Copies of this chain bind each other. A is one copy, B any other.
Amino acid sequence: MLRHFLNGPTIYTHIMKKQMKGTTAIVPCPVILLSVKGKERPNIITLSWVANVCSEPPSVAIGIRPNRFSHGLVKDAGEFVLNVPGKNLFDAMKFCGSKSGRDYDKFSEMKLTAVQASKVDAPMIDECPINIECKTSHVINVGVHDLFVAEVLAVHIDEAVLDEKGRFDTSKVDLFVYIPLNGQYWSVDSNIS
């Protein structure tokens, strides 16, 4: 395959690549359950278009399609909770990502416990080991998704996943990730540092 080096001659390399049109190719992606106060009942959606984006004030960004039921709930409420699930909540994650809160009470269907957050008016999913309380600061239309930027006001971590110094112990949660390039979920298994 012909390769054009920036500051050198055109040479052949051993790495052959397939070029394709633009797509959401960042891998791996976190898998997050967003919980929000609803008009009639709290709701949950599964998100993978989500990241920490700023350290101070601690802030996150999430992409939500306007045609999803939760988009209106998140926009109207202006606050929500991001919940990090362990692998034991894999089925609930799939359910909350494929069913609409218009049709289902997802907390009840998935036997999840809604606990009132402390800084925002939103439910936290008690069964998730990490709950992140967020207040929207910016909404930016990017295309078929709106980007919500939100400040993190408080974090709750299950004491069972902390080490003796009170630090998060990765080995005590079965974290997993999403691979949008092929639709797979993979588990995070070994410490390499």
Residue among A61, A114, A166 with most chain B CB within 10 A: A61
A140–B169 CA distance with the chains assembled, in angstroms:
33
* A92 at the binding interface (Cβ < 8 Å): no
Q: Verify A54–B144 contact, CB threshold 8 A.
A: yes
CB A3 to nearest CB in B, in angstroms, measures 5
Q: Verify A191–B180 contact, CB threshold 8 A.
A: no
- With A155-B20, A179-B170 as known contacts, state yes or no: A26 contacts B6, CB within 8 Å: no
Main SS class of interface, A: strand
Residues of B within 8 A of A151 (CB): 22
Can you offer 29 A-B residue contacts whose CB atoms are under 8 A?
A: A4-B116, A7-B41, A13-B113, A13-B126, A15-B160, A17-B156, A17-B159, A19-B154, A22-B154, A24-B152, A25-B58, A26-B52, A27-B30, A27-B170, A28-B175, A49-B54, A50-B51, A51-B63, A52-B180, A53-B61, A53-B142, A55-B65, A90-B193, A138-B140, A142-B149, A185-B191, A185-B192, A189-B189, A189-B190
8 closest pairs, A vs B, by CB?
A: A51-B51, A24-B52, A22-B152, A53-B63, A168-B181, A54-B145, A189-B189, A185-B193
| 15 extra A-B contacts, CB within 8 A, seeds A21-B155, A54-B145 | A5-B113, A6-B116, A22-B57, A24-B60, A26-B82, A27-B30, A30-B30, A54-B144, A55-B143, A55-B145, A147-B149, A168-B182, A187-B189, A187-B190, A188-B189
Interface residues of A (CB under 8 A from B): 3-7, 13, 15-30, 32, 41-42, 48-63, 65, 82, 84, 87, 90, 113-116, 118, 123, 126-127, 130-133, 137-138, 140, 142-145, 147, 149, 151-160, 162, 166-170, 175-177, 179-182, 184-193
